Amino acid sequence: MASSRFAVAVHTLALLARAGGQPLGSCAIARSVNTNPVVIRRTLCALARARVIRVRRGAGGGAELARAPHAIRLLEVYLAVNGGSTFALHPAPRRRCPVGRNIHSVLCWVQGEIDEAVRRTLAEITLQDVLERL
């Protein structure tokens, strides 16, 4: 589910921020998030591609923030791990039904409005804001 990927990513970033520059491995992060390390490694890869974190391999390696928490907006985290819309449309409404024939275009409009509102809000919130509320 897309929203859980975002929650896992923000949780991960908060842990990295609180680690004070000490790299954290996927197993340590997975224990806090209460998930499998594979889920964390996928999340770390997405965040590294977005240049939100750096990952060092080998002994003493792990993940760390690439920038200060005040310079990381939740929108870039959301786009790194979600990439999609906030909800999915049902795949095959009945075309002979007047509702089924038109529901996709209406819901696409609704989805666009929601997605834009989510992006505007996330663009205003930083990782530092999250840390201050923990």
CB 53 within 8 Å of CB 43: no
Model confidence over 1-21: pLDDT tens digits?
Answer: 456 899 999 999 999 999 988
pLDDT at 82: 85
pLDDT at 108: 86
Q: Which residues contact 30 (CB under 8 A, 6 or more apart)?
A: 36, 37, 39, 40
CB 15 within 8 Å of CB 65: no
Alpha-carbon distance 89 to 80, whole Å? Answer: 22
- Which portions of the chain are predicted below pLDDT 70? 1-3, 83-85
pLDDT at 32: 97
pLDDT at 94: 81
pLDDT at 1: 45
pTM for the full predicted model: 0.86
DSSP result, the chain? -HHHHHHHHHHHHHHHHHTTT--B-HHHHHHHHTS-HHHHHHHHHHHHHTTSEEEE-STT-EEEESS-GGG-BHHHHHHHHT-S-SSPPPS---TTSHHHHHHHHHHHHHHHHHHHHHHHHHHH-BHHHHHHH-
